[in-house]
Structure 1
Amino acid sequence: MKFGTKAIHAGVEPDPTTGAIMTPIYQTSTYVQESPGKHKGYEYSRTHNPTRTALQKALAALENGKHGICYASGLAATDAVLKLFRPGDEIIATNDLYGGTYRIMRKVFEPFGLKFQFVDMTDVEKVRAAITEHTKMIWIETPTNPLLKIIDIEAVVTLARAENIMTVVDNTFATPYLQNPLDVGADVVMHSVTKYLGGHSDTVMGALVLNDDDLAAQLAFIQNASGAVPGPQDCFLVLRGLKTLHIRMQRHCENAAKIAQWLHEHPKVGKVFYPGLPTHTGHDLATRQMRGYGGMVSFELKGDVYEEAVIVMESLQVFSLGESLGGVESLCTHPASMTHASIPKEERLKAGLKDTLIRLSVGIEDIEDLIDDLNQAIEKVESHG
C-alpha cells in the first residue's frame, strides 16, 4: 500500500455499531465488565482507549513498524525511553537537538545517575569514539533542530548494533513521509506528534514506533504506569491530521525549497541552513536518505547583528513568531531564546547555534505571500550587501 493510501486508511475501520467512517471519540474513563476481569479488551482509559488504539495502529503503519505507543507529549515519549535505563548507563545524543530533549536529559535524568554525551553525529567516528562499555543507547535527531544537520542513520545504527547498543531516532522534522528509520535498523522512532503529524497546531502529543515485542511491552507498561497518555479528543484530531499528511508535506517541502533558494540569493542574508540546497553540508546524504528535504529552514543575516535579527522577526506579518513547528501556518522562531533557551549559551555556540539564528517552519500558504513577507521584513534592516 502506498503512503498516501496508508495515511488515509491505516488503523481506521468503520465503527462496528454505526458504520461511522471516522473513528469515534471514545470520551470515557472506564468500561463496563461482564464479570470481574472479563471485558472487551478495555478496562480503563489510561491503559487503553479505542480512539488511541486506532491512532497507534495508524502511526505504526506509517513508520513501517509493528507497535505504536502514544504519550501526552513528545517529551513524555522521550521520558518513557529514558526510563528504560538505570544509574551508570551512558547515552550518546546528537549535539544539535531540540532544547527540551537536552533539558530532560541533563536536568531530570542526569541527577538520577544517567550519563550523557552530546556529540556531532555528522562524523560517525566521533560517535564511535564516544562509546564506552557503559553505553546503552544512541539518540539520533535528523534533520537536527535547528541547524538541519543530516546524520547517517544507517551508519550509526550499524555501529550501534555491533556494540549491542539501542538506537532511537527523533523523526519529527522528517516525518514518516520523508524517511523511515526502522527500515534501516533503528530500534525506536520518536515523534513529537504535535508537529507535522497533527499538522494543525491544535494538540500536544508524542509517540514511539518500534518492532520489538519485548521492548514495546516495556514501553507500554511505562505508558500505563506513569500515566502520561493523550486523551481521546487529541487522538481524534491527530487521526484527522494524518489523512492529509502526504499532501501537506508535499506543499511544506515545495515552499521551503523555494524560500531557501530565495534566501540563499538575498544580498542581506548570510547563511541558509536547508538540506535541499547543494551548498548544505549534508545535501548528498539527505538526497540518499530522505525522499524530500522537509519544511524547515534556518538562516542568519549578514553582519550577524542580534538587533537586526529581532527587527526581522518582529516585522513578519504572515509568518507568526511563536514556538513549535509543523502546522499548516508558517511560524518563525528564535531558537536561542525560545526552543533552545534551556541549553547553556556556551553549549549552543559550540554546536553552531548563534543568538542571531532565525528558524522558519514553512507552512502551506501561497509561496508568493511568504516570500513577500520575508522580503519586507528583511528590507527593514541595514544593508550588508
Structure 2
Amino acid sequence: ADNIYGPTRVRVSEGLLARSGVEVTYFDPLESITGLIRPETKVVIFESPGSLTFEMLDVARISTEAKAAGVMVVMDNTWATPLFFQPLEHGVDIVIEAATKYIGGHADVMLGTITVSTAEQFQTVKWTANALGNCPGPDDCYLALRGLRTLSVRLERHQRNANVLARWLRERDEVGRVLYPALPDDPGHELWKRDFKGASGLFGVVLNAYPKKAVAKMLDGMELFAMGASWGGYESLMIPTHPGKNRTATKWRGPGPSLRLHAGLEDPDDLIEDLEKGLARLTKAS
C-alpha cells in the first residue's frame, strides 16, 4: 500500500527487493487492487491503519481480491497487536509485527514476529530465517514474554490516553485534523469499528499552516513527550512527519505540518498540560 511504513518502502521494496530484480507496485489504500494485479504478482503487503496518515484499509476486501488472483496477503499488524485485531480471521496469510513496540512494551528490546496460516508457510519462513542467520537472543525473547503478561493492561491505558489527547487536540485552533480511527468523525471509523476491538496509543496530528521554525520551537520544549521513532513503550513520544515525501500512487494533502504522537502511560492531564505549553510556543514563534 502507498501508506506503508517508510523503511519497508525504502529498505525492503526499493532496496533488497529491487536489487533482487523484484518489481513493486504501490496502490491507493482506499481503492480496489483488482486492476493492479498482474500474472506475475506474488504478494500484496499493507498495514492498517496506514503508517503516519492512519487510513483504514478494508482488510477483508483486499484479501478477497488478492486470493481470487492466487496472490498471498501479508499484513503488518504492529499498531493493533493481536489483542485488537486478528488478521488471519480476515483473510490474511502472513502477519508480521514489531515486537519491539507493544509486545515488548518497555522500549528495551529489538524483536519481530511472523505468524503464518499454514505449515508450508512455516517451513518456508523457518528455512529463510536460518539461511539469513536470524537468531533472536534469549534475553530479547524473555523481555517479550515479560511484556505479554501486561500487554492487555497497558493497551487499555494507551487507548484511553490517546482518546483523551485526540479529542482535546481536535478542538484546538492550532490543529487542522487529528488522524485517529477511533474518533467517530474519522473517515475510517466505520471500518475500524467493524473489524477492530480497540485502538492503540499511536495517532497523527495535522497542524494548520505554521513555519518549520515554529514547529521546531514547539518540539524542542516538550517535557513529557520525548522525540523518538520507536513507539509502543511506556513513554509518550512526538515526532514531525512528512507523509507526502514517499507517496507515488496517492497525494498527501494537509493544511500544514504533521506530527505523530504516541500516548504513553503517563497521567493524561500532565500530557495535556505539556501539549498546551507546546502549542503556545508554536503560536508565539509563528
Aligned length: 283
Where does residue 61 of structure 1 map in the other structure?
none
1:270 maps to a residue whose letter is: G
Q: For the structure 1 residues 110 and 150, does the alpha-carbon distance in structure 2 shift closer, same or farther, using more than 3 Å as the test?
A: same
* One of 45, 54, 60 as aligned partner of 1:148: 54
**Shift of residue 183, structure 1, vs aligned partner:** 1.1
Unaligned ranges ≥5, structure 2: none
Where does residue 218 of structure 1 map in the other structure?
124
TM-score (norm 1): 0.70
**Shift of residue 350, structure 1, vs aligned partner:** 4.6
* One of 114, 134, 139 as aligned partner of 2:22: 114
* Distance (Å, rounded) in 2 between the aligned partners of 1:346 and 1:168: 21
1:228 equivalent to 2:130? Answer: no
1:100 maps to a residue whose letter is: P
Cα displacement string for residues 316-357 of structure 1 (whole angstroms, at most 9, x for unaligned residues)? 110101111111111112233xxx8xxx83638954276821
Where does residue 365 of structure 1 map in the other structure?
266
Where does residue 209 of structure 2 map in the other structure?
303
Where does residue 131 of structure 1 map in the other structure?
37
* Distance (Å, rounded) in 2 between the aligned partners of 1:309 and 1:349: 28
* Distance (Å, rounded) in 1 between the aligned partners of 2:101 and 2:89: 22
Where does residue 105 of structure 1 map in the other structure?
13
Unaligned ranges ≥5, structure 1: 1-93
* Distance (Å, rounded) in 2 between the aligned partners of 1:371 and 1:246: 24
Q: Is the 8 A contact 1:147 1:353 kept in 2?
A: no
Q: For the structure 1 residues 96 and 351, does the alpha-carbon distance in structure 2 shift closer, same or farther, using more than 3 Å as the test?
A: farther
Where does residue 345 of structure 1 map in the other structure?
245
Q: For the structure 1 residues 383 and 259, does the alpha-carbon distance in structure 2 shift closer, same or farther, using more than 3 Å as the test?
A: same
Q: For the structure 1 residues 353 and 365, does the alpha-carbon distance in structure 2 shift closer, same or farther, using more than 3 Å as the test?
A: farther
* Distance (Å, rounded) in 2 between the aligned partners of 1:371 and 1:349: 36
Q: For the structure 1 residues 241 and 353, does the alpha-carbon distance in structure 2 shift closer, same or farther, using more than 3 Å as the test?
A: farther
Q: Is the 8 A contact 2:87 2:95 kept in 1?
A: yes
* One of 99, 115, 127 as aligned partner of 1:209: 115
* Distance (Å, rounded) in 2 between the aligned partners of 1:131 and 1:102: 19
Counting aligned pairs with the same residue, the percent is: 33
1:177 maps to a residue whose letter is: L
RMSD over aligned CA atoms reads: 1.9
**Shift of residue 193, structure 1, vs aligned partner:** 0.8
Q: Is the 8 A contact 2:26 2:249 kept in 1?
A: no
Where does residue 71 of structure 2 map in the other structure?
165
* Distance (Å, rounded) in 2 between the aligned partners of 1:279 and 1:366: 25
TM-score (norm 2): 0.94
Where does residue 160 of structure 2 map in the other structure?
254
Where does residue 33 of structure 1 map in the other structure?
none
1:300 maps to a residue whose letter is: V
* Distance (Å, rounded) in 1 between the aligned partners of 2:211 and 2:193: 33
**Counterpart secondary structure, 1:359:** strand
**Shift of residue 130, structure 1, vs aligned partner:** 1.1
Q: Is the 8 A contact 1:309 1:357 kept in 2?
A: no
Q: Is the 8 A contact 1:335 1:359 kept in 2?
A: yes
* Distance (Å, rounded) in 1 between the aligned partners of 2:99 and 2:220: 28
* Distance (Å, rounded) in 2 between the aligned partners of 1:349 and 1:146: 16
Q: For the structure 1 residues 306 and 348, does the alpha-carbon distance in structure 2 shift closer, same or farther, using more than 3 Å as the test?
A: farther
**Counterpart secondary structure, 2:74:** strand
1:198 equivalent to 2:104? Answer: yes
Q: Is the 8 A contact 1:268 1:383 kept in 2?
A: no
Where does residue 86 of structure 2 map in the other structure?
180
Q: For the structure 1 residues 201 and 368, does the alpha-carbon distance in structure 2 shift closer, same or farther, using more than 3 Å as the test?
A: same
* Distance (Å, rounded) in 1 between the aligned partners of 2:53 and 2:195: 17
Q: Is the 8 A contact 1:309 1:358 kept in 2?
A: no
1:358 maps to a residue whose letter is: L
User: Which aligned pairs between 1:58-97 and structure 2 lie closer than 5 A?
Assistant: 94-97=1-4
**Counterpart secondary structure, 1:118:** coil
* Distance (Å, rounded) in 2 between the aligned partners of 1:219 and 1:170: 16
**Shift of residue 379, structure 1, vs aligned partner:** 0.9
Q: Is the 8 A contact 2:2 2:249 kept in 1?
A: no
* Distance (Å, rounded) in 1 between the aligned partners of 2:183 and 2:217: 26
Q: For the structure 1 residues 330 and 286, does the alpha-carbon distance in structure 2 shift closer, same or farther, using more than 3 Å as the test?
A: same
**Shift of residue 308, structure 1, vs aligned partner:** 2.2
* Distance (Å, rounded) in 1 between the aligned partners of 2:274 and 2:187: 28
* Distance (Å, rounded) in 2 between the aligned partners of 1:299 and 1:275: 12
* Distance (Å, rounded) in 2 between the aligned partners of 1:163 and 1:346: 28
Q: For the structure 1 residues 353 and 181, does the alpha-carbon distance in structure 2 shift closer, same or farther, using more than 3 Å as the test?
A: farther
Where does residue 21 of structure 1 map in the other structure?
none
* Distance (Å, rounded) in 2 between the aligned partners of 1:141 and 1:236: 27
Q: Is the 8 A contact 2:103 2:144 kept in 1?
A: yes
Q: Which has the larger radius of gyration?
A: 1
